[in-house]
Chain A
Amino acid sequence: MFKGIVYAKSFQLAVALFILLLLLPPFVPRFYVYILALIYVTSLLAMSLNLLVGHGGMFQFHHAVFYGVGAYTVALMLTKTRMPVWVGFLAGPIAAMFAGLVIGWFCVRLTRLYFGMLQISLGSLVWAIVFRWYRFTGGDDGIHGVPMPPLLSSLNRSYYFILIILALSLMLLYLILKSPFGSTLQAIRDNPDRCAAVGINVRRHQLLAIVVATFFAGIAGVLFVVLERSVFPDLLFWVLSLEIFIMCLLGGWFTFAGPVLGAAITVALRTFVGIYTEYWTLILGVILILLIFFLPEGVMGYLLEILKPRAKEAAGRRE
């Protein structure tokens, strides 16, 4: 009842926002177009993580690895091979998904904390290889000047492409969360033992969730390369993994679009704080502490708490 109203309204809002953002570039300085595009890329990454963390209850502590794998795959394919661009774009998420499958296969055999720490271990191995294999991956210089097709030649065109892919991905993620797969995943989050008792192969389900989430992380990686035309090892560094975690927490990890909000706030803050000081990490740490103590449901969680009684009232008045 009231749920239907809220979501229908949110959908209309989302469509309106999408159109507004699509029309934005000609009216706004270049810098803001760039920042928005960066927010879109980061949002997709955070949303992909939240599938596992907020909706799946898994300790996915090193999600950035799959983002980095996606980005590096497309960068390597476009700089070192003569494959068509679109093959490179597809290869990114597929490689990320494959990495997710391999690392995930090890991790799902363990519970909670072990899952997380093993993932940090295996992910760090991947990072170490990328960081040191100078001849192949450029080591800590990374790869720069990745060529893009004429269709994506300008910042504005990249912006449109990224926004459209983000919108499509968000719709897909929404469908997935509302599917039987999504319900079962959330049930696993709430009570994995009970799920086993009702006939669900929890490990297999979690592995499937990891594959889906890392696929989208890989897409985010490709979008990053479209925006920046370069890659570097920091994309696979575990600090980024924990930053995305914070974005999900900040936005509200039990909500659908919370991570988008979290990513937007974080990237915007990081950019504007960065103008005044180089101690962004310190501020991020303080924000995290404030969140833990005062706002554990995140910003969107908090907003929904306030809005729910009002929507219920409105529904009551209607009936």
Chain B
Amino acid sequence: MGVSYGAADLISQFLVGISRSMILFIVCAGLSFVLGVLRVPNIAHGSLYMIGAFATFSLSKVFAGSYGFWFALILAPLLVVLISLVAERALFCHLYQREHLMLLLFTFALSLIFGDLVKLVWGAEYRSVAAPDLLKGSVSMLGSSFPRYNLFLIFIGLGVATALWVFVNKTKIGKISRAAAVDREMVGMLGINVSWVFAAAFVIGCYLAGLGGALVAPTVSITLGMDHTLIIEAFLIVTIGGLGNMWGALVGSLIFGVTHSLGVLILPQFAIIFPYAAVVIVLLLRPKGLLKSVW
């Protein structure tokens, strides 16, 4: 405290907040989507995010050179998809008829197993990934310098948002998923295999988790425990956004990311209090979230 910040600093932090929000949005959109269709908060979402980050680390080492990161960015989420598909087809799908609490506990079991698997494969050390050459360094914008990678994140975030909008509103699978979220019995009666719809939704959600992990890799130290921090934040965001609502995930992520970044200017050590406080305030005023829940 006692440091004065200029307008440029504020704007720059604000933009940093937005770019951080983009990663949160990508991950939370996945969580919200699964929550909307299956009505279960996927606790393993954080672990899949973590696997995405660690996999990006390994893959960018395998594909050394300036294109390494791009290969990793494409392949890491696919690896996560593979893992989640195996878990879903082998075990999860057999539980769709059971009560929701059982599904939730299953995802918790998965998160425990995946967490330890990461420890087994990658060990407990911190890892890091370098940003690709194309995205290193900063540009000067609006009076201060802004990392290129963060700009990239903003574009990717907008891209994912657009792709999701198209998917949910314009594609057949997307529309069926939305219908299944609201009334799964009806969808079943229309002759559609609800189990496949769930599988598709789950896989898409997990892809987004993996993608988020891959994108975050160059910006933070990749550690065990990433899954826990993420899943708490993701739950908070999804709750204030409105359960199952992907645009709610966007709004929630923006609130979370921006309050955190601006909070860093005020109380660097306790910056995390600001997004939490924002969450509490939102929930006091609108306990069911800002946007309508899907059901």
Interface residues of A (CB under 8 A from B): 59, 106, 109-110, 113-114, 117-118, 120-122, 124-125, 128-129, 132-133, 237-239, 242, 245-246, 249, 278-279, 281-282, 284-286, 288-289, 292-293, 296
Contact = CB atoms under 8 A, between A and B. Distances in A.
Given A132-B270, A132-B272, A239-B228, A282 B117 contact: yes
Contact of A284 (B112, B119, B232, B243): B112
For the complex of A and B, 6 pairs with smallest distance between CB atoms: A285-B112, A282-B116, A285-B113, A288-B109, A285-B109, A125-B276
Given A242-B43, A285-B112, A289-B106, 6 more contacts: A117-B41, A117-B239, A124-B236, A245-B105, A249-B105, A285-B110
A114 B243 contact: yes
A146 to B, nearest CB: 25
B102 interface: yes
B283 interface: yes
B280 interface: yes
Interface in B112-128: 112-113, 115-117, 119-120
B136 to A, nearest CB: 32
B113 A282 contact: yes
Q: Is the interface of A mostly helix, strand, loop or mixed?
A: helix
A279 B114 CA distance: 11
Contacts, number: 103
B280 A124 contact: no
Contacts of A129: 273
B239 A279 contact: no
Interface of B: 39, 41, 43, 91, 94-95, 98, 100-102, 105-106, 108-113, 115-117, 119-120, 228, 232, 235-236, 238-239, 243, 269-270, 272-273, 276-277, 279-280, 283-284, 287-288
Contacts of A110: 287-288
A110 B102 CA distance: 20
Nearest to A246: B105
A249 B106 CA distance: 12
B243 A286 contact: no
Nearest to A242: B108
A288 B283 contact: no
Contacts of A109: 287
B41 A288 contact: no
A282 B279 contact: no
Contacts of B115: 281-282
Contacts of A237: 228
Nearest to B120: A279
B276 A286 contact: no
Contacts of B236: 120-121, 124
